[in-house]
Amino acid sequence: MLETIHAGKTASITEFKKNPQALIDAAHGEAIALLNRNKTTAYIVPPELYERLLEMAEDIALGRIYEERKHEKSSAVAVTIDEL
């Protein structure tokens, strides 16, 4: 069966167990796909990438909230910052 791997680097679980930090260092900030019997079981991503992914997910969620609520604008009441 074909499988798409969403990382530029791969390593086996066995390799990862031997020296996790060495693999992370060798990836130079790229994501690593961990394989078990040639199937992806997990991804290791650098903190910066993980944080960007969380920000993107939050942006998508906020966009959905906007889309759900934009029809309510016509019934909104205008106020100044001092009135809050």
Q: What is the pTM of this model?
A: 0.70
Digit-by-digit pLDDT tens for the chain (84 residues) are 778 899 999 999 999 999 999 999 999 999 999 999 999 999 999 999 999 999 999 999 999 999 998 888 778 888 898 988
For residue 71, the model assigns a pLDDT of: 85
CATH for 9-74 is 3.40.1620.10
- What pLDDT is attached to residue 23? 94
Q: What is the pLDDT of residue 32?
A: 96
Please report the pLDDT score of residue 75 as a whole number: 81
Q: Select from 24, 30, 26, 25 the least CA-distant residue to 48.
A: 30
